[in-house]
Amino acid sequence: MSEMTFPLPDVGEGLTEAEIVTWHVAAGDTVELNQVICEIETAKSLVELPSPFTGEVTELLAEVGQTVPVGDPILKVAVNDGVEAPEAASPAAPAIPAAPAAVREDFAHTSADVANSIQKDDEGGAVLVGYGTAGAVQSRRRSGGEPLLGGAGSANPSIPVAHALPVIAKPPIRKLAKDLGVELSHISGTGIAGEILRDDVVRQASQASVFRNIVTPEVPSEREERIPVKGVRKQVAQAMVASKFTAPHVSVFTEVDATRTMEFVKRLKASTDFAGVKVSPLLIFAKAMLWAVRRNPQVNSKWTDEEIIRHNFVNLGIAAATPRGLLVPNIKDAQDLSLLELARAIEQLTITARDGRTQPAEMANGTITLTNIGVFGMDFGLPILNPGEVAILAMGTIKQKPWVVDGEVRPRMVTTVGGSFDHRVVDGDVVSRFVADVASVLEEPALLLD
């Protein structure tokens, strides 16, 4: 036997450090190649790290809550002599999970649904990208050593796992349940193969009203709280300061009669083509931006000190408020998507961000961003540019207002659209035309048929 050390890898784009969020193994546990050993929180996302070795864990070298520099050792594993560490153990190698952790852990060897969700190599094995084929994944133990069993109310009683059903829940859902004091084994999951979703936890906790800001919490007994600045909050703070005090922001906005947009959304929801797909005014707003970018390509650019780089593709960023903070994942090559494809892409992006599974690559290389502050009931606000981009558009809430139509005051569904722009790249005339084009589509979605 020989002992191998696993250093914290750079899981994407210049990561310098990460916080250990959860250990899924303990000293004495047997681990398989590609078995998820822990979750780490980077400045951008929550990432699962798979084991680069098969063997016995001899020592955990970092504690939960500890921030570890990239390259520092976090785990020691005793392996059979002659087994060499794969290249993936290098600090520079990415460790990108290909499927939800709990599903991969508990059902990889029994559930066809899950097997289809995990990437396959040429030999047909379940693979995590960059680490090769894994053997059969053993049931992991919790930190206390007990088997990962339970969930008698699961929606799929046909899966024979030690005569009990495993609890299937992603790490953010497990954390939410812990925060709310909910026992996951008491919940019947409504997701695929009985996976426990966020709504299941909230419903079980009988605290749905908390998430709608209806219940006012008690005043804490402590006079003050100290919250460490780290992870996503630290990254967002640095990025916003750099953007605000580097790029000279200019902002414009206008009110829009979005009545026809609301009618169009209603028709799409009733269409069989969009059955099972979430449709909202955000979809029309996104499509309007893509149409307007084609007519005003200057806004889809990037400033450098030497040149302006104009993109002939659109990686459309969508600002998402998540339990971990503000994230801006983007839809790659959004300009090539049909309305239905764009709706599916937005839905998947939203679900991934809400569940805390957004990966660094999904937030990289954005070219222009939208934000929908209307979901919070706000009429409008002027956003700060996403660093490296020239334009960001915002849409406020859509609500009924008195509106003059053909000389008569009528009730119409009205919203406000506008945004912020880097004045080094675009001037007021371009900015105004771009926002006016977006407003035109919201007023008359038929323009999208051009």
Domain with residue 208: its CATH number is 4.10.320.10
Tell the burial category of 168 from Cβ atoms under 10 Å away from its Cβ (0-12, 13-18, 19+).
buried
Same domain flag for 288 and 428: yes
Using DSSP bridges, classify how beta strands 330-331 and 368-372 pair: parallel, antiparallel or unpaired.
Answer: unpaired
Q: Report the alpha-carbon distance of residue 391 to residue 383 in Å, rounded.
A: 10
Q: Percent of the chain, pLDDT > 70?
A: 77
pLDDT score of 161 more than 80: no
In a domain, 227, yes or no: no
Give the pTM: 0.59
Give the angle subtended at the CA of 45 by the CAs of 40 and 51, to the nearest 5°.
Answer: 35
- For position 98, what pLDDT does the model report? 39
| Better pLDDT: 316 or 71 | 316
Give the C-alpha separation, 199 to 280, whole Å: 20
**Per-residue confidence band for 427, with pLDDT thresholds at 50, 70 and 90:** very high
Taking the C-alpha atoms of 431, 436, 438 and 442 in order, what is their torsion angle to the nearest 10 degrees? 160
Catalytic residue among 109, 249, 311, 423: 423
Q: Examine residue 407 and state whether it is found in any structural domain, yes or no.
A: yes
Q: How is 43-112 classified by DSSP, letter by letter?
A: SS-EEEEE-S--EEEEEE-S-TT-EEETTSEEEEEEE-TTPPPPGGGSTTS--B-SS-HHHHHHHTTT-H
Residues 205 and 172 in one domain: yes
In terms of domains, do 263 and 401 share one? yes
Residues 175 and 275 in one domain: no
Query: Is residue 222 situated within a structural domain?
Result: no
Last residue of a domain, one of 107, 139, 171: 139
Q: Is residue 405 a part of any domain in this protein?
A: yes
Q: Are residues 309 and 358 in the same domain?
A: yes
What pLDDT score does 81 carry? 66
Picking from 91, 121, 84, 80, the residue whose alpha carbon sits closest to that of residue 8 is 91
Range of the domain at 87: 2-139
In a shared domain, residues 287 and 161? no
Decide if 225 is inside a domain.
Answer: no
Where residue 375 falls among pLDDT bands split at 50, 70, 90?
confident
Distance, C-alpha 179 to centroid of its chain: 20
Give 284's contacts (C-beta < 8 A, 6+ positions apart).
261, 264, 265, 441, 442, 445, 448
State whether 429 and 285 are in the same domain: yes
Q: Please indicate, yes or no, whether residues 77 and 165 belong to a single structural domain of this protein.
A: no
Res. 432 pLDDT band, cuts 50 70 90: very high
Please state, in angstroms and rounded to a whole number, the distance separating the CA atoms of residues 211 and 205.
11
The stretch 350-376 carries a mean pLDDT of 88
- Using the 3D structure, point to which of 120, 139, 158 is the last residue of a domain: 139
Answer yes or no: is 349 within a domain. Answer: yes
| Pairing of the two strands 368-372 and 316-318 | parallel
Residue-wise pLDDT tens digits, 13-53: 567 888 888 899 999 999 988 888 998 887 667 788 888 88
At residue 104 the predicted structure's pLDDT band, cuts being 50, 70 and 90, is very low
Q: What CATH number does residue 108 fall under?
A: 2.40.50.100
Q: Do 175 and 134 fall into the same domain?
A: no
226 within some domain: no
Structure tokens given for 436: 């006016």
**Is 261 in the same domain as 291?**
yes
90 CB contacts (<8 Å, ≥6 apart)? 7, 9
To the query of whether residue 311 is one of the catalytic residues in this protein, the response is no
pLDDT at 130 over 70: no
**Number of separate helices (H) and strands (E) present in the chain:** 10, 19
- The CATH number assigned to the domain holding 413 equals 3.30.559.10
The Cα-based distances of 446 to 269, 283, 440, 443 in angstroms read 17, 14, 10, 9
Q: Which of 188, 181, 172, 236 is nearest to 210 (CA)?
A: 181
20 vs 34: CA distance, rounded Å: 18
Residue 144 placed within a domain: no
pLDDT on residue 424: 95
| Residue in this structure with the two tokens 């559930």, named with its chain if needed | 111
Q: Please state the domain count of the chain.
A: 3
Query: Using CA atoms, how far apart are residues 255 and 395, in angstroms rounded to an integer?
Result: 10
357 and 402 assigned to the same domain = yes
Question: Which of 114, 139, 164 marks a domain boundary?
Answer: 139
Q: Annotate 236-269 with three-state secondary structure.
A: HHHHHHHHHCCCCEEEEEEEEECHHHHHHHHHHH
Greater model confidence, 170 or 205 = 170
Q: Which two structure tokens, joined as six digits, stand for 232? A: 């996503």
- Cβ–Cβ < 8 Å for 251, 420: yes
Helix 198-205 with 171-180: angle, nearest 10 deg = 10
My answer on whether 383 and 444 are in the same domain is yes
pLDDT at 13: 55
CA distances from 301 to 68, 309, 422 (A): 36, 5, 10
